[in-house]
Structure 1
Amino acid sequence: MIDHRRPVGPRTLAARAKAAVTLSASLRAAVSAGEVRRVVCLAPDPHARFAAVELGADFFVDTVLANGYGLCSYVFGWNPARQTVNAPAVDQFLGGYGDLVLRPDLATLAPLEPGVWQVVCDVEWPDGRPVPEAPRTALRERLADAEQLGLVPSVGIEQEATFTGADGAPLVPAGLDYSVAGLTPLRALLGDVHAAVDGLGLGAESARGEVHPGQYEIVLRHRDAVAACDDAMLLQAAVRRAAAARGVRAGYLAAEASGMGSSCHVHLSLSDPEGVPLTAGATPGEPSALFGHFIAGILRAAPDLTGIWAPTWNSYVRLRTAPFSPRSLRWGRDDRTAAVRLAGSGRSLRLEARFAGADAHPHLVVAALVGAGIAGVRERLPLPDEARVVGELARTPWEALTLLDSKPARAVLGDPVIDHQLAMLGEELTAGLDTVTAWQRARGDLRA
């Protein structure tokens, strides 16, 4: 039996690597016993989804664990429709369509179905260099920087899904926030969804109806930053599969309609390498000086990183029209109207960054938060007064594109990541401008 349960709370990169060794031995034993027949290797692509290849379990443990496995490089040069992107920043992934190397991270091992397990992988060039543009690499590098300062984040991610039918309409017409009776029409579907999520064994914390029609949220317990992001994507994939089996769409758009927002809220606290919390100050609800610097760094960098929080056309419908999707940058204690909410107290004190939509890439969002936060720590940035507005996120994707190509954004995530994201956001804008939509037709009819 493979015990793949994720530990709650912070975990260093070294501790993750140690866990991977233990799980590798468990997997080998399970394969030898015939309990595991196939292993699915997953790599997060630039669009917050997995690229996958399914391998025979014997081949995986005999060969792939030691040598890796090939993945066509164009996975990092495509748009959401899997069409290649015409931009210099992605040319290296398209020349000859050669292979990158998948390196399985056994700390991510999780069951998919009887006899089949899945594992999330890092990505390398054939010479062994990490691919800096890969979202998982970007996150690992920021976490390594944080650990050099003696900081180990613990992260919890909230993503909201909206269940819609074949006609695109939400399965229930009214908001579901904390509802009991309102969820009744969804009970059969939710039973399948929860069975799929429970089957993953990732450690669910809570689930509830959300504020908009057909909207639902399942939250996993907080854990190390890499696990939190990997598991958020595994969770999303499981929800989508369970819904699709019933002919239902589980949508992770930032805005299913104007005035409706779905988010990727990130709860983040800091500990030292021994697990001692570093977030609370002199009183349980007050941030420590160090955590104040961290929050100040995030608030300062947030405008330039709008393209990370909001990577699609649809993202800006949420930012411009949805309630509880604040563009103005301020922090507040237990204030859900603030861009950064300080929640909990004492050992549970944490920030909740409320910038990102459900369409954002978890790995890049958390990498940006950590990178911006540690810059604030290094510079000892003072925490602004509570409730004081210190900036604003970009209002349009064009503004976001300009801000992302900036020294502050590059300082947080590095040139390769920023150049790659500029290419992806630029392609998103071009594709939208080249498309005739139902809205454009309706708008034209109004001129008749």
Structure 2
Amino acid sequence: MSISADIITNAEVRLSSTEQIVKKLEEKGTKYVRLLYSDIHGYPRGKDIPLDFFKSITEEGQAFCYSNLVDGLDGSPLNAPGMPNRGYPDMRAIPDLSTLAVIPWEKDTVQCLVDLVDNNGKPVDISPREFLKRTTTLFNDSLRLTPVLAHELEFYLLQKGKAGWKRYSDQAGMIYTVGYRTDELGLMQKFLEAGKVLNLGVTAANREHGGGQFEVNMIHGKAVSSADRAFSFKNMIKEVAACNGLLATFMGKPFNNQPGSGFHLHLSLMNQQGKNVFSDSSAADGLSEMAKHFIAGVLHHAPALTAFLAPTINAYKRLIPNNIAPVSTDWGYDDRNVLVRIPPERGLGSRIEIRAGDGAANPYLISAVCLLAGYDGIIRKIELQPVEVKGNSLPRTLTESLQELYADKALCELIGNSMITAYSAVKTAEIERYQQYVTDWELKEYVQHL
């Protein structure tokens, strides 16, 4: 790697002109800048730009096709909402210079996340990053509070076999083990090193329950920067795996006989004095009334939230009983079977953990919608039921989740019509493609006997 990891600090970005930033990049040996943004799925889209052209892009933006935000994962185009028969117009990507970071697996290259604007210079409202920004602004303006998040992700590593992709390791039940017996290529340390270079705040890595399944934790932070790190983290894992001849997948349930991969969201709120407002030392359980209203809001809207937390057809194969994954709208103290877990830390560490997230979920979207559900709980002072009260069942399919989303008028209003329309259009098209697809299970079940 020819570029120093301390390429440029946020403070330097704030105090420097674009010319000074580009000059420092040149001094570090940078030749290319990779622009990245998240589509609706959470998949990274972008372009590689020679450094010579980067200054003009910071001022004018880089053109991308607007409808790319809502393309299907199979490559099928889907026109962006509200834009029928307009012929795939452009949007512009404006680099957020505070996100510049070295790409350790690409020679002479840095990455930079972008903000998306339309041809009138207005933020693209179906951009997941913009959606989360609007959500944090709502908390700041209405409640004078700052959301603080941490993301916790599980994934599988796969290697090529004679019959296609197989698990990197078949040793199941090796949770919390480390070393070459379960990671013969030493990838965990490679992930930690790449995370350090990219400033992702990666704090720990370990094997999980499944054969070839791993988990990596990240430090907490303000909502947008935390989601930025989670987005970049998923991309980093896939890229480092690919550099080592492997495939990393965050798919929620890739194997019938192995555990699923979750995406757990840790969340709290901080006031203007830097105090965690979920904490109340005078309460018997150490939790404030605001925290309990927030939890109640999440539980109240949980059936609708599931459309975002479990965003694929496959995700619902993970949300089954006795799988350390939630199946109902319940909560508990340090209980990993429930939807909202209250970790034992208190004071500055007071937080909630939302455990229904699927590994394939979009970090910007799930962060935003869970915050909005909690916001509604605070504003309406929704009462939290006692911990022993069993909640209602969560939706069992993506179709049911979308129906619950449409029916939740209060949450839809907070999310906004543009995002609801875009997201539901993408997911409805996904469901329709699946309904037309003949699966291996159907062939095995029917073809010989019927």
Kindly indicate whether residue 245 of structure 2 is the aligned counterpart of residue 247 of structure 1: yes
Alignment deviations for residues 326-369 of structure 1 (CA, whole Å, 9 cap, x no partner): 12111111111111011121110100001110011110000001
* Aligned counterparts of 1:441 and 1:327: Cα–Cα separation in 2: 29
User: 134, 147, 171: which is aligned to 2:140?
Assistant: 147
Q: Which residue of 2 aligns with 1:186?
A: 184
* Aligned counterparts of 1:3 and 1:242: Cα–Cα separation in 2: 20
Q: 1:238 to 1:284 in 2, by over 3 A?
A: farther
Matches within 5 A, 1:216-227: 216-227=214-225
Aligned residues: 435
Please say if residues 324 and 336 of structure 1, whose CA atoms lie closer than 8 Å, have aligned partners that are also in contact: yes
Matches within 5 A, 1:54-93: 54-61=48-55, 63-85=56-78, 90=81, 92=83
Please say if residues 175 and 214 of structure 1, whose CA atoms lie closer than 8 Å, have aligned partners that are also in contact: no
Q: Which runs of 5+ in 1 are unaligned?
A: 7-15
Q: Name the SS for the 2:87 alignment partner.
A: helix
Please say if residues 125 and 418 of structure 2, whose CA atoms lie closer than 8 Å, have aligned partners that are also in contact: yes
Alignment deviations for residues 247-286 of structure 1 (CA, whole Å, 9 cap, x no partner): 2111110112236211110001110133221111125842
Q: Name the SS for the 1:381 alignment partner.
A: coil
Please say if residues 23 and 107 of structure 1, whose CA atoms lie closer than 8 Å, have aligned partners that are also in contact: no
Alignment deviations for residues 61-81 of structure 1 (CA, whole Å, 9 cap, x no partner): 2x1212211111121231012
Q: Which residue of 1 aligns with 2:174?
A: 176
Please say if residues 74 and 94 of structure 1, whose CA atoms lie closer than 8 Å, have aligned partners that are also in contact: no
Q: Which residue of 2 aligns with 1:423?
A: 425
* Aligned counterparts of 2:7 and 2:405: Cα–Cα separation in 1: 38
Kindly provide the amino acid, as one letter, of the partner of residue 31 in structure 1. Answer: L
Q: Which runs of 5+ in 2 are unaligned?
A: none
How far apart are residue 198 of structure 1 and its match?
3.1
Kindly provide the amino acid, as one letter, of the partner of residue 166 in structure 2. Answer: A
Q: Name the SS for the 1:393 alignment partner.
A: coil
User: 193, 197, 200: which is aligned to 1:199?
Assistant: 197
Alignment deviations for residues 78-130 of structure 1 (CA, whole Å, 9 cap, x no partner): 101221137xx636287222210112112222111442111111111110111
How far apart are residue 162 of structure 1 and its match?
0.4
User: 210, 229, 232: which is aligned to 1:231?
Assistant: 229
Between Structure 1 and Structure 2, the one with more helix by share is 1
- The CA RMSD measured in Å over matched residues stands at 2.3
* Aligned counterparts of 2:84 and 2:158: Cα–Cα separation in 1: 36
How far apart are residue 172 of structure 1 and its match?
1.8
Q: 1:93 to 1:360 in 2, by over 3 A?
A: farther
Please say if residues 298 and 373 of structure 1, whose CA atoms lie closer than 8 Å, have aligned partners that are also in contact: yes
Q: Name the SS for the 1:305 alignment partner.
A: helix
Q: Which residue of 2 aligns with 1:270?
A: 269
Alignment deviations for residues 25-71 of structure 1 (CA, whole Å, 9 cap, x no partner): 6633413536322111111011111111111223212x121221111
Structure with bigger RCO (C-alpha 8 Å, 6+ apart): 1
Q: Which residue of 1 aligns with 2:442?
A: 440
Q: Which residue of 2 aligns with 1:378?
A: 379
Matches within 5 A, 1:196-345: 196-258=194-256, 260-281=259-280, 282-283=282-283, 285-320=285-320, 323-343=323-343, 344-345=345-346
Kindly indicate whether residue 402 of structure 2 is the aligned counterpart of residue 411 of structure 1: no
Q: Which residue of 2 aligns with 1:10?
A: none
* Aligned counterparts of 2:81 and 2:352: Cα–Cα separation in 1: 34
Q: Compute the TM-score of the two structures, normalised by the length of structure 1.
A: 0.91
Q: 1:430 to 1:164 in 2, by over 3 A?
A: same
Please say if residues 169 and 182 of structure 2, whose CA atoms lie closer than 8 Å, have aligned partners that are also in contact: no
Alignment deviations for residues 375-424 of structure 1 (CA, whole Å, 9 cap, x no partner): 11111112221232233321112211211213133123111111111111
Q: Which residue of 2 aligns with 1:395?
A: 396
Q: Name the SS for the 1:273 alignment partner.
A: coil
Percent identical = 28
How far apart are residue 321 of structure 1 and its match?
5.9
Q: 1:85 to 1:98 in 2, by over 3 A?
A: closer
Q: 1:115 to 1:245 in 2, by over 3 A?
A: closer
Please say which of residues 159-168 and 283-292 is displaced more in the overlay.
283-292
Please say if residues 333 and 342 of structure 1, whose CA atoms lie closer than 8 Å, have aligned partners that are also in contact: yes
Q: Compute the TM-score of the two structures, normalised by the length of structure 2.
A: 0.90
Please say if residues 203 and 218 of structure 2, whose CA atoms lie closer than 8 Å, have aligned partners that are also in contact: yes
Q: Which residue of 2 aligns with 1:103?
A: 94
Q: Name the SS for the 2:186 alignment partner.
A: helix
How far apart are residue 190 of structure 1 and its match?
3.2
How far apart are residue 199 of structure 1 and its match?
2.8
Please say if residues 149 and 268 of structure 2, whose CA atoms lie closer than 8 Å, have aligned partners that are also in contact: yes
Alignment deviations for residues 160-183 of structure 1 (CA, whole Å, 9 cap, x no partner): 110122233322221321124684
